[in-house]
Structure 1
Amino acid sequence: MKTIKGPALFLAQFAGDAAPFNSWREITAWAADCGYVGVQVPSWDARLFDLEKASTSITWCDDFKGIAKTSGIEVTELSTHLQGQLVAVHPAYDTAFDGFAAPAVRANPKARQEWAVDQVKKALTASKNLGLSAHATFSGALAWPYLYPWPQRPAGLVEEAFDELARRWLPILNHAEDCGVDIAYEIHPGEDLHDGVTFEIFLDRVKGHKRANMLYDPSHYVLQHLDYLDHIDIYHDRIKMFHVKDAELNPTGRQGVYGGFQPWVNRAGRFRSPGDGQVDFGGIFSKLTQYGFDGWAVVEWECCLKHPEDGAREGAAFVEAHIIRVTEKAFDDFADAGTDRAANRRMLGLE
């Protein structure tokens, strides 16, 4: 068993154009003031991070870490959620996702996909330069528009989509292996890897690649009505990252999982600040600790009701209260009778 590291905060939802959220030095000082000891960094946000420099200069990475360290903050992981999404985009989403890309490759799906692959590879190299062991991303999606089988899905459609998804990701996974960094796909609706079954379909096609792993976020499982504790029992060997994010699913006679196209505040399934939803975080921290999860508990603040700065401060205290400092001895050691093999054999009636 191992003690989970934390609390840490994903900065994507907090970066902005006003102080203290518009510079690396100030936002890390603010995170420390909130009670965090680590931050997860959105690699696409130039206000906080320079991916090009991080992928080419260890000196730059050392300086970057040093600035955070002055506030007592560690860099936990880098994220390429936006770039990873663009590794695989169904044409129905071309316009919606174009804004994630650099202006030079927008409205050009082939160039955009090549740019996205390059971005993720650079982020893996940057992770190596920063001394990190895991990297957060999305898988992207080709089959997602066909999630619900109406009309009937043609035979082979899903298989073809996952064959292509694996083909696109395999060179990236191999680069991850060269860097010694695990890719942790956030298992997330909207991605082709959105539950355990789809992760297994993908894993089979990349031949069980050891760098193909999971970012575990229970909020996305609550909204799918999926058993998120059993999920840890099944996939703990592949869980390399953990987002502490809460959610609630309160179906009514009018709507359920699909949400009726409503805004978040009116949906049956809603994201909430840690502790305000339905997730059993006591059970999650217990299971991850039991299985020796060797990573960070990272708050990803998303809530349809609460102010983000309140959610951030409360989230740090929430994680701190849930981290289990593992024991180095059994609780019943006081009753140890000090037996040996001969005594054990006598107790079994063998002598």
Structure 2
Amino acid sequence: MARLVTLYSLQWGDLSLEEVCVKAKAFGYDGLELGLPDHLDVRQTDPAYYKGIKDLLEKYGMQLRTISSHLVGQAVCDKIDERHKSILPDYIWGDGDPEGVRRRAAEELILTARAARVLGVDTVVGFTGSPIWHLLYSFPPVPQSTIDKGYQDFATRFAPILDEFEKLGVRFALEVHPTEIAFDTFSAQRALEALDHHPAFGFNYDPSHLGYQGVDYVDFIYQFPDRIFHVHMKDAYWSDTPKQVGVFGGHVPFGDPRRFWNFRSVGRGKIKFEEIIRALNAIGYQGPLSIEWEDSAMDREHGARESCEYTKRLDFQVSGHAFDAFFAK
């Protein structure tokens, strides 16, 4: 049986959840990945609220396997500044005191795990933020002890959150991504080690964030076969020739043609999704393939529809026997 193809609702936050359901069904999706805070309020305690969401999804034949808290999760470990005010709910930002913001974001993540449990979902995707991302380029030289302290700070802040996740039977899948504590294979391994391989911690695999960095995004799957908790299908294009703006993205917006790389609709960039599907089959991943659509140069409805069609056409299940098995007759 093919994997579910779902649509991440965060990029559709200007629409009501019912409007997203209507569109997703028309585009051919099997379900949704609900994005916070636009399409789910985890502060709600009334069971009727969650029943209403489940009933709405069922009405349109949308399955739910994942909820996501990227924006709030970003604030748990980040160096907080005015940028965060634009992405956080007012009740998380509060007076903007950095430690208060981090504390409220951590509390919200725990509420997110509780909401997931009520909804019958076992995976929360999100960001962690990072206290050391700003030190990525090591000049002035950054002592290794400073990087070590950054991972220690991450573990101190996130381990209690993960303990609560584990109690609830819910997993946290960090989207490996620039600005997070894990942004490539090496830093993902360090994050796991910092948490002493906490059973509730794994990864949301999104190849678009690895490819343009020069990271082997297929090998990443084989490095963490038991920690790929969820998969985003998102493409990226990077230039074969020098551009005005390099791999760091400069100070120009996403979609600017002067950039070395940009996100693309699935199948229109350089990510080799065929190899990804084969690798996911090899590790036995049976979770959703969730479309996180972020192509600045394309109409989102066109992109969402063709991304669903492309992914369903590409996905296939592993063979039940070797092709040459009949020779044994």
Q: For this structure pair, what is the TM-score category when the shorter chain's length is used for normalisation?
A: over 0.9
Partner of 1:347: none
Work out which of the residue numbers 265, 284, 288 in structure 2 matches 1:296.
288
Partner of 1:261: 251
Q: Deviations over 1:85-134 (max 9, x none)?
A: 0101214xx11112333324142212211110111001111111111121
8 Å CA contact retained: 1:99, 1:106: no
Return the TM-score normalized by structure 1.
0.88
Rounded to whole Å, the distance in 2 between the matches of 1:12 and 1:222 is 22
Work out which of the residue numbers 305, 311, 316 in structure 2 matches 1:319.
311
Work out which of the residue numbers 62, 65, 68 in structure 2 matches 1:79.
68
Work out which of the residue numbers 114, 117, 129 in structure 2 matches 1:140.
129
Q: Deviations over 1:124-166 (max 9, x none)?
A: 1111111112110101110011100011013411111110111
Q: One-letter code of the match for 1:95?
A: E
Partner of 2:36: 43
Partner of 2:219: 230
8 Å CA contact retained: 1:57, 1:129: no
Q: One-letter code of the match for 1:80?
A: S
Partner of 2:13: 15
Rounded to whole Å, the distance in 2 between the matches of 1:216 and 1:4 is 18
Please give the root-mean-square deviation of Cα atoms over the aligned residues, in Å: 1.6
Work out which of the residue numbers 314, 323, 335 in structure 1 matches 2:327.
335
Rounded to whole Å, the distance in 2 between the matches of 1:78 and 1:269 is 28
Partner of 1:195: 184
Work out which of the residue numbers 96, 102, 108 in structure 1 matches 2:89.
102
Q: Deviations over 1:208-250 (max 9, x none)?
A: 1011100000000112111111111111211111000000111
Q: Deviations over 1:32-91 (max 9, x none)?
A: 10110111111211xx322222xx344432331121111111112111101100101214
Partner of 2:23: 30
Bigger CA drift: 190-199 or 141-150?
190-199
Work out which of the residue numbers 58, 81, 99 in structure 2 matches 1:69.
58
SS at match of 2:32: strand
Instruction: Go from structure 1 to structure 2 and tell me whether the alpha carbon gap of 1:286 and 1:107 turns closer, same or farther (over 3 Å shift).
Output: same
Return the TM-score normalized by structure 2.
0.94
Q: Deviations over 1:13-47 (max 9, x none)?
A: 1121xxxx2x22221121110110111111211xx
Question: In the alignment, is residue 214 of structure 1 matched against residue 203 of structure 2?
Answer: yes
Larger radius of gyration: 1
8 Å CA contact retained: 1:58, 1:130: no
Instruction: Go from structure 1 to structure 2 and tell me whether the alpha carbon gap of 1:51 and 1:286 turns closer, same or farther (over 3 Å shift).
Output: same
- 5+ residue gaps, structure 2: none
8 Å CA contact retained: 1:4, 1:293: no
Q: One-letter code of the match for 1:219?
A: S
Matches within 5 A, 1:237-248: 237-248=226-237
Partner of 1:307: 299
SS at match of 2:10: coil
How far 1:275 sits from its partner (Å)? 0.8
Work out which of the residue numbers 144, 164, 172 in structure 1 matches 2:161.
172
Bigger CA drift: 28-37 or 195-204?
195-204
Instruction: Go from structure 1 to structure 2 and tell me whether the alpha carbon gap of 1:270 and 1:33 turns closer, same or farther (over 3 Å shift).
Output: same
Partner of 2:119: 130
Question: What's the % identity of the aligned pairs?
Answer: 29
8 Å CA contact retained: 2:185, 2:215: no
SS at match of 2:40: coil
If asked which structure has higher relative contact order (CA below 8 Å, sep 6+), I would say 1
Partner of 2:141: 152
Question: In the alignment, is residue 273 of structure 1 matched against residue 273 of structure 2?
Answer: no
Question: In the alignment, is residue 182 of structure 1 matched against residue 171 of structure 2?
Answer: yes
- 5+ residue gaps, structure 1: 338-351
SS at match of 1:125: helix
Rounded to whole Å, the distance in 1 between the matches of 2:234 and 2:7 is 11
Question: In the alignment, is residue 249 of structure 1 matched against residue 259 of structure 2?
Answer: no
